[in-house]
Amino acid sequence: MTMLLSIPQPGKASAALRNAVDGSRALIIPGAYDAFSAKLVESAGFDAVYVGSYATAGAAYGMPDVGSLTLDQLVNHARNVASAVSAPVIADAEGGFFEPGNIWRTVREFERAGVAAIHIEDHAGGKHTNLPQRLIPLDQMLSKLRAALDARSSPEFIVMARTDAIWATQDEVEAIRRVKAFADIGIEYIFANGATPDLLRRIRASTPARYVTINHPGVRDRREWDGAADIVLDYGFCLQVVAKSLRAALAAYRASPDVGRTDAYLEPSDELEARLGYDAFTERANRYV
């Protein structure tokens, strides 16, 4: 079978994501950190792929996720991921990068990158740190979201609205207020970051919508999300797995010259190369010899 990079088709990826969210169970998505890890997520049978700023900053730049990446850096990384897989990709658009009058550029760039959905957050900075946590005012967030919805070239493209009121400021009342406001302006997918399954059930009972969240550390059985969340993003999963396993492999490599000590860590080269499309390249090349 010939394998080529996928060509983004406006609306098609978004429709595929909508179809994958069927309401009967939570769609659990391990976060990828680059194109290759995205291919592994897809080949493992997951219906969608997620690439966030946390994994992008860590894997592509060796940096913390503290708002230092540019729009172009995130878009280019997401484009590489979307081009490597057939599954729909959800991408992180941070706070939208611009004020409402210019947020069209954020939306159009991610659309052209071929992703199915982006999420825009109300966090004002300091994520993953002990710095004071703040949210942007709700009226500013709603203006950004209205502009983002209007900017879409395809009405199928999904703009998710993310509130960090639970995760960053532990304010459940404010989270509920924001969730309702998002739904009132036509947001279909609401990202209630940091919510537990029980809290998410309470929120969706008062404001029907599709709900997105991150995997909560208190949830030890992912089936608890069924009936609470529609999409659960385990944003650091692939990066954390690689960090631990690669460190262990490198330590074993350094500790002993015995090749047998590290064989177990290696995927056979023929399997690895098959994942990357070497056979497909050979097939194409032989047609023209």
What separation in angstroms does the CA of 114 have from each of 73, 88, 149, 158, 234?
15, 9, 17, 12, 21
Supply the pLDDT for residue 138.
98
Mention every residue, 6+ apart, whose C-beta is less than 8 A from residue 238.
30, 31, 32, 33, 37, 40, 41, 55
pLDDT at 256 over 90: yes
The arithmetic mean of pLDDT across residues 45-51, rounded, is: 98
Q: How confident is the model at residue 76 (pLDDT cuts 50, 70, 90)?
A: very high
pLDDT at 264 over 70: yes
**pLDDT (tens digit, 9 = 90+) per residue, 134-151?**
999 999 999 999 999 999
- 3-class SS of residue 147: helix
- 3-class SS of residue 182: helix
**pLDDT (tens digit, 9 = 90+) per residue, 54-66?**
999 999 999 999 9
pLDDT at 26 over 80: yes
Supply the pLDDT for residue 9.
63
The token duo for 158 is 């999904």
Task: Select the CATH number that applies to the domain covering 12-243 from these four: 3.40.605.10, 3.40.190.10, 3.40.50.300, 3.20.20.60.
Answer: 3.20.20.60
**pLDDT (tens digit, 9 = 90+) per residue, 89-114?**
999 999 999 999 999 999 999 999 99
